[in-house]
Amino acid sequence: MQKLRIPAGIGSCVICIATISFDVSIGNPFPAQPAPPAEWSLSPEPEPVFGLSEVLAAFIGTLLALLSCAGAAIAVARHLPALSRLSPLELANDPRVLLPAQLAAYALVLGILWRLFAHHMHIGFLRALAWRWPRRWLRFIFGGAVLAIAVQLAAHLLPVPPEAPIDKMLQSASDAWLMSGFGVLIAPFVEEVLFRGLLFPALARRAGALISLAVTSLLFGAVHAQQLAGSWIEVACIVFVGAALTLVRWRFHSLACSTLVHVGYNGTLFAALFVQTHGFTNFAVH
Q: What is the mean pLDDT of residues 12-40?
A: 39
Q: What is the pLDDT of residues 171-221, one digit of tens each?
A: 788 889 999 999 999 999 999 999 999 999 999 988 988 999 999 999 999
d(CA 9, CA 102): 9
Query: pTM higher than 0.85, yes or no?
Result: no
13 Cα distance to chain centroid? 11
Cα distances from 136 to residues 25, 39, 197, 260, in angstroms, run 26, 19, 21, 11
d(CA 136, CA 141): 10
SS3 22: strand
19 Cα distance to chain centroid? 18
Q: What is the pLDDT of residues 133-148, one digit of tens each?
A: 999 999 999 999 999 9
Angle at 196 between CA 24 and CA 48, to 5 degrees: 65
